[in-house]
A = this chain, B = another copy of it.
Amino acid sequence: MELTTHLMTTDPRKIPVDALKRFIQDIFAAEGMSGDHAATMADVLSWANLRGVDSHGISRIPRYVGMIDNGGMNPRPNLSVTTETSASLSIEADRAAGPVAMDWAMDKAIAKARNAGIGWAMVRQMTHSGAIGYYTLKAARADMAGLAFVSSLPNMAYPGTRAGSVGTSPIGIAVPGGDHAPLMLDMATAVVAGGRLAQARLTGETIPEGWALDADGVPTTDGARAVTSVPLGGHKGGGLSLMLECLISLMVGNPILAAELQERTPGHPIRQNGLCIAVNIAAFTDPAEFRAQVDRLVETLKSRDRAEGTEEILVPGERGDRVLEERTRSGIPVRDGIWTQLETVAARHGVAMPASTTPTR
C-alpha cells in the first residue's frame, strides 16, 4: 500500500473523522449489516483515510455497495470457525466484508496467543481486506506482535508472464513501542500498489519505468496504459505472492489464482483469503523490555548519518502517524468526484451526508 495523498489545485472539502465514521456506519447499516459490523467498516475505512491511505478508505464505498448489490459481498455473513487447534483456527467468512472478517480473525488470533504464545487465524472467502495495518495494530495494542497477509486476485505479472498471474498480496507487520508509536509496516508485494496504478490510469500521468505492463504485457511509462502491476524485485515479490497463495488460499481450500486464471469471467467479485497472526510477547520475553528495545532501535536508526538529500530517517508507520495527527485535527479531505459518488449512495438510503467544511474555490 502506498500513500496516495496528492497535491490538489484547490483545497478539497474536509470531513471531521467522527462525522465520517457515523456516515460510513449509517451506509453499511442501511445496506443490511449489523451495527457491530457497520461500526467495524467505519473504523477500518476511516483509519485508512486518517493515515493518508485514501485508496483504502471511503473511495471504496461505492464498489463495496455494488458488491452487496451483486451478491459478491454478504452483509449478513455467518462467520464460523471450521478448524481449531490450541494455536490456530480457520474461519469461513461467508463472503463477509474483508474488514469484518479480518478484524474478527485478529481478535481470535490474539485470544489464542494468550495461552499458546502464537495465534494463527486463517480467513476463507472474504472480500477486499481493507488496509491490513489496522489489524496488526490491534495486536500491538494487546502487547503482541501482529502480522497480516492476504492472497488476492491475479493483478500482477509473475516474472516472465505478460498479464496478471499472481496478486499484489500485501504483508503487514506491527510491534508495540514504548515511548515511540508502534512500528507498522504495510506493503504490497508489487513495486507499487494496485490502487496507485488505478489512479495513474485515471490521470494518464507518466509513471516511472518498472512500475507496470500495458495490455500487451510490455513495460510502459504511460499511466493511461498501465494495466498490470509488476512484482517488487521480480522473482522475489512474485515468489512471495505465489507462496502467500499457497500458505493462505490452498491452506483453506479456496484457490484463487488457478481458479481465476482458468475460469476467468468478466466482472468477478473481489475475492480474497487472509491470515492474521498474533505473537504474545510475554510468552517469550518481558514486554516492557521489548518495548524499551523497540524505542532504542528506533532512536539508534534515526540518529544514523543521513544520505545526501535525506532530511529525516523514517521508521515504518511514522509517515502515516503524522498524516493521522494532522487529519484528526483538520479533517479528512474528500475530492469532489468521490463526494458525488457518496451522495448517490447516501441518497438511495436517505442517509445524511456528513458535515464538512465548504471547499474553498
A residues sitting closer than 8 Å to B (CB atoms) are 83, 85-88, 90, 115-118, 120, 122, 145, 157-163, 165-166, 171, 173, 175, 183, 185, 187, 191, 217-218, 232-233, 235-237, 239-240, 242-243, 245-247, 250-253, 255, 257-258, 261-262, 279, 281, 283-286, 289-290, 293-294, 296-297, 300-301, 304-308, 310, 312-316
Cβ of A116: which chain B residues have Cβ within 8 Å of it?
85-88, 116, 118
Q: Out of B173, B285, B305, name the residue touching A162 (CB < 8 Å).
A: B305
Q: Out of B83, B236, B255, B284, name the residue touching A252 (CB < 8 Å).
A: B284
Q: A315 to B115, alpha carbons, bound, how many Å?
A: 38
From A281, which residue of chain B is reached at the shortest CB distance? B251
Interface centre among A115, A166, A191, A258 (most CB of B within 10 A): A258
User: How many copies of this kind of chain does the complex include?
Assistant: 2
A interface majority secondary structure: mixed
Task: Please tell me if the beta carbons of B279 and A247 are within 8 angstroms of each other in the complex.
Answer: yes
Given the interface pairs A83-B284, A232-B232, A313-B161, the reply to whether A251 lies near B239 with Cβ below 8 Å is no
Cβ of A158: which chain B residues have Cβ within 8 Å of it?
301, 304, 313
Given the interface pairs A118-B118, A257-B300, A258-B300, the reply to whether A161 lies near B305 with Cβ below 8 Å is yes
Cβ of A245: which chain B residues have Cβ within 8 Å of it?
297
From A188, which residue of chain B is reached at the shortest CB distance? B236
Cβ of A166: which chain B residues have Cβ within 8 Å of it?
301
From A289, which residue of chain B is reached at the shortest CB distance? B253
Cβ of A163: which chain B residues have Cβ within 8 Å of it?
304-305
Cβ of A165: which chain B residues have Cβ within 8 Å of it?
301, 304
Q: A247 to B187, alpha carbons, bound, how many Å?
A: 17
From A82, which residue of chain B is reached at the shortest CB distance? B284
Q: How far in angstroms is the closest Cβ of chain B from A349?
A: 39
Task: Please tell me if the beta carbons of B85 and A160 are within 8 angstroms of each other in the complex.
Answer: no
Task: Please tell me if the beta carbons of B296 and A255 are within 8 angstroms of each other in the complex.
Answer: yes
Q: Out of B90, B185, B243, B301, name the residue touching A316 (CB < 8 Å).
A: B243
Q: How far in angstroms is the closest Cβ of chain B from A318?
A: 10
Q: A300 to B163, alpha carbons, bound, how many Å?
A: 13
A-B contact pairs, 13 of them (CB 8 A): A86-B87, A87-B116, A87-B120, A117-B120, A158-B304, A159-B310, A165-B301, A173-B243, A242-B301, A250-B285, A255-B296, A257-B297, A258-B300
Task: Please tell me if the beta carbons of B308 and A145 are within 8 angstroms of each other in the complex.
Answer: no
Cβ of A162: which chain B residues have Cβ within 8 Å of it?
304-307
Cβ of A122: which chain B residues have Cβ within 8 Å of it?
284
Q: A166 to B316, alpha carbons, bound, how many Å?
A: 13
Task: Please tell me if the beta carbons of B175 and A239 are within 8 angstroms of each other in the complex.
Answer: no
